Amino acid sequence: MPIYSTPIENIKFILHDLLDAQSLSALPGYEDVSVDLIDQILEEGGKVCEEVFFPLNQSGDEEGCQFNDGEVTVPEGFKEAYDTFVEGGWTGLACDPEYGGMGMPALVGTVMKELICSSNMSLGMYPGLSYGAYEALHKFGSDELKSVYLPKLVDGSWSGTMCLTEAHCGTDLGLIKAKAERNKDGSVNIMGTKIFISAGEHNMTENIIHLVLAKLPDAPEGVRGISLFVVPKFIPNDAGEVGERNTINCGSIEHKMGIHGNSTCVMNLDEAKGWLVGEEHKGLRAMFAFMNDARLGVAMQGLGIAEIAHQNAVAYAKERLQMRSLTGTKALDKPADPIIVHPDVRRMLLTGKAVTEGARALSYWVGMELDIANRHPDEAERQRADDLVALLTPIIKAYCTDMGSEIANLTVQVYGGHGFIREHGVEQYVRDARIAQIYEGTNGIQALDLVGRKMGQGFGRLLRRFFHPVQDFIEANQADEQMQEFIFPLAKAFAKLQQSTAMVAQRGMKNPDEAGAASVDYLRQFALVALAFMWCRMVKIALAKLEAGEGDKDFLETKLHTARFFMTRLLPDADARFKMVLAGAAPLMAMDEAAF
């Protein structure tokens, strides 16, 4: 059976030593934030994930969701677990107190998302999607819509979805065919079919609130003609409670590779009543509030899967006996040595450790910058943070999910044949992780977003939000002898990232295929440099604490060992990616289509 425990020591190191999360108390609305409060919340949240969510992960995968005559039943125990989650107030953790939320920072919500995704990704998607719906309505909904829907989304009695995709269009939303006809009372009637709708129908909440993209009769062509509407499963009555059944129904659920405990639905709208969110024909702007939160959430899915897969790989490698060490017997009292003595097994385990801890630091940094972007009293500081979040969101979405999938596969490799069968439970992580590279914008789309939109935005303003702090850090620490083994690899990789950036920009202006051809490798190169930066920052803290005789010596020295592994065995891939970017578009685009 799989295991899971909250990596609380690593989380606290990042929150308090690296990021100084308590400094968020200087922001309006966060005055009560303290180290003790953050730790208490995360320790309690960890217990819920370990004791309530995690025990249902494997059984939920095996049972899956059941569809019968338009109704969906979730796996046994899911509703009870969700109810426990709701009773603890977790659905409102990072929500506005005006609507019943706890008002905690987005950073704390980001950490909680990781724990949820590690323990039970399928179950965690239900409240996760609801938070995205909350975000879109909170930012763009009218006061009337907010008063009706937000308290119910916050307290968890109602859940939310996002309805974008149609059979003929996924990424290219300008092609949607769903139509909205205006009614005299200010509502609309929507006709159309949406597919791949996560949590579109289930029996866990008394109402489901769908955010639906559709086009009004006078809509311009393409994405400029998209509007966003809130379409409830049950129309709220005058008292704000569940009323008459709306004509949005589940036609079927998908039989899919993974996340079996979450219903993936085909939703049919037959003149379903809806209400406009934001302005007419500007729904994509409102939906991106949902999408950006969703992309950060999906990044946490990748990180969460990586963490639990890594934990299980380590536990198995310490117990599984196979052959003797290449340098002589290590376990004299056993017939063979544990496989953790073998170099290649250690390579796989250290990859999982270095990636999860580095990606966690990067992701939490983005979560903290999100709080600054939303709350800081200085407009310039809000803009700086917002720029950094916008730049790094596609990077962490793509990198965390790619590596979540890779580390899940490495875990199966550590287990060998036992990993390939269901009994041990780790093959589920491979299946569950795979979707995260696809939904909320495939990772190829994240790369195009990075080079096509973020790179040139504000004449490179977004890039400077990352490049300048990295350059300042290198200059401030390159003379420190203890830091040099970490700083020099970062400096070399960073210099090549700057070269790649200039090259992609220049070539892309002449031929857009050049930017497209370089995009995925450029994103990976960027991600590796970003992780190297985070590892150098963690190393600096670990060295200072060791010198001062503070903290857990073994924990801090392990940080240094892991950082060395990252710099020597993983960061070199950035140089390979640099060479791939240099190769240009010709190797991809020169061959005639018929030759494929």
Going from the C-alpha of 269 to that of each of 7, 70, 213, the distances in angstroms are 43, 13, 12
Residue in the structure block whose two tokens are 């309530």: 52
SS3 content of the chain, % helix, strand, coil (to 5): 65, 10, 25
- Which residue shows structure tokens 């990636």? 355
Pairing of strands 207-214, 158-163: parallel
Rounded Cα distance, 375 and 381, in Å: 10
User: Which residues on neighbouring strands pair with residue 308, listed in sequence order?
Assistant: none
Q: Is 244 helix (H, G, I), strand (E, B) or coil?
A: strand
- Euclidean distance between CA atoms 419 and 313, whole angstroms: 10
CA–CA distance, 377 with 380 (Å, rounded to integer): 9
Is the Cβ–Cβ distance between 113 and 128 less than 8 Å? yes
DSSP 212: E
Cβ count near 221 (within 10 Å): 8
323: Cβ contacts below 8 Å, ≥ 6 apart = 336, 337, 339, 342
44: annotated active-site residue: no
Q: Which of 440, 475, 547, 557 is catalytic?
A: 440
Length of the chain: 596
- Name residues whose C-beta falls within 8 Å of residue 481's C-beta, 6 or more positions apart in sequence: none
In this structure, how many other beta carbons lie within 10 angstroms of the beta carbon of residue 98?
13
CA–CA distance, 502 with 497 (Å, rounded to integer): 9
Q: How far is it, in rounded angstroms, from Cα 560 to Cα 566?
A: 10
Q: Residue written as tokens 């008292």?
A: 239
Distances (CA, A) of 175 to 220, 261, 557: 12, 30, 54
As annotated, the active-site residues are 440
